Amino acid sequence: MDAELMRLLTSTLMASSVAILLVGLLRKPLRAIFGARATYWVWLLVPVLILAALLPAPSQLLQASSESLAGQIRSVLSVAAVTTLPRESAGLTTALLAIWATGACAMLVALIRRQMAFLHSLGTLQSDADGLQRAEVVAPMLVGAWKPKIVVPVDFEARYSREERELVLAHERAHLSRRDVTINAVASGVLCLFWFNPLIYWALGWIRIDQELACDAQVLAQRADARHSYAKALLKTQLATESGWRLPVGCHWQSNHSLKERILMLKRPLPGMSRQLSGIALIIALAASGGYAAWAGQAAEDKGARILVDMKVRVTNSESNEVSAVATRYLVRSGELPSDMKVPPAAFACTPYLHDELEKSSAWAGMKARGLPLPPVGYILMDCTIRENGEVVATPAVMAMDGQPATIETSSKLRAYRIELSASTSEEPITAAASTRKR
């Protein structure tokens, strides 16, 4: 289990890092072409690639066929037994996971304490007639991870003209409608998981800037004649450094770190709706193709040896003595079944397990409870499931030497089964089987 968790952590770390680097390279060129609102969608790459890394790697069903025969077969239950080998030490993996979990918990606690300290510093919020919250803050902001509220300074009217106030509130309402606070909360959760990755810290800064630019563009799209007043509001609002770092989850009217980019955007004309929609479509297509490539590319990763399984099943109806046969061949890794198997032959599924990979699998605890042994080096444990009308009627297993045939005979109330199978990790038959499928 520790090894599987380490594999998932490593794969998601690599996927998120690649996604962040791609976003870092694309965000400014895309913004220049399609505008800030469309470019914000490029952050979709990060969750898509992480999800692709979490999905099971694709496997291959190479061949499946069935036929009807006549005859009679005797049914006998047989399961092989061998001596269990001692487990390999996983001390290093366990230690690394302990360090990671400690850092993740410490980061989560620190973020929660910062958020609570900031909310406490606001004191008692006072609602006004417009539904705004008043507090001793230096700039308007959106506060609250679950129920965001717009908080403005107590002297809001004294600081800004009427038009500037309308623009500032439109900006904060844009954050609210775009659910930027929720996105920031999720990003903070990702930071807790990958606290050791410096790219995550850069990404948090980039995503905040892109949020501000996207909201600026949304406001200007509605008030194209208010660029001068909007620039004045930006210049008036210099958020105090202390308040800025004390709000890890929220959206504040910040202008200190991205003021130059925001002022430059005010000088440029906004792209038309058709160009923005084209940019969003391009980014969604890029995310989808990138996610698919990341998922499909898992087959090429070193996740254990590939196993070629050849299986022939003969089924005898106990009442009519009618015999049917099913043959299938598939290429998988330890603990896998092809994702494209259908019934039949999915009613006769045999999952191969190697010695080095079985203890890493979540299925190992259940197998030990059933009394199944750990396969020795050079052997493959074939754990089979037989279903009739969707219900499991037998779960036989056999220990087969790598590349050598093995047989399982079992029966249910209505049918008798004989499963002849072989499993091999040798590259020569695997290459030949894969090339035959391509032809």
Q: Report DSSP letters for 34-71, one per residue.
A: H-HHHHGGGGGHHHHHHHHHHSPPP-EEEEEEEEEEE-
Among residues of the chain, what percentage have pLDDT more than 70?
Answer: 81
- In 277-396, the DSSP E strands lie at 306-317, 322-333, 348-354, 379-388, 391-394
Please tell me whether the peptide bond between 345 and the residue prior to it is cis, using omega within 30 degrees of 0. yes
Burial of residue 345, with CB atoms counted within 10 A of its CB: 0-12 exposed, 13-18 middle, 19 or more buried: buried
Give the pLDDT score at 3.
63
Lowest-confidence segment of 100-114, 239-253, 378-392 by average pLDDT: 239-253
* pLDDT tops 70 at residue 68: no
pLDDT band at 120 (very low <50, low <70, confident <90, very high): confident
Distance CA 154, CA 135 (A): 6
* Residues in a beta bridge with 322: 70
Question: Residues 400-425: pLDDT tens digits?
Answer: 999 899 999 988 888 889 999 999 98
pLDDT tier for residue 190 given thresholds of 50, 70 and 90: very high
- Mean pLDDT over the full length of the chain: 80
Instruction: Give the pLDDT score at 78.
Output: 31
For range 79-102, the mean pLDDT: 61
* pLDDT score at 332: 85
130, pLDDT greater than 80: no
Residue 242 has pLDDT above 70, yes or no: no
What is the DSSP-derived secondary structure letter of residue 398? E
Task: Specify the higher pLDDT residue, 238 or 271.
Answer: 271
**Cis status, amide bond into 344, omega within 30 of 0:** yes
pLDDT at 249 over 70: no
Q: How confident is the model at residue 343 (pLDDT cuts 50, 70, 90)?
A: very low
Q: Could you give the C-alpha distances from 271 to 38, 63, 253, in angstroms and in order?
A: 10, 53, 24
Between 214 and 359, name the one with better pLDDT: 214
Residue 377 main-chain phi, psi, to 5 deg: -60, 135
Output the pLDDT for position 25: 94
pLDDT for the residue 379: 92
Q: Please give the Cα distance from 174 to 170 (Å, whole number).
A: 6
Percent of the chain with pLDDT over 90: 26
Across 26-35, 309-318, 326-335, 338-347, least confident range: 338-347
Q: Give start and end residues of each alpha helix (H) in 223-300.
A: 227-236, 241-245, 259-267, 273-296
What is the structure's pLDDT at 251?
Answer: 53
- Per-residue confidence (pLDDT) for residue 317, from 0 to 100: 86
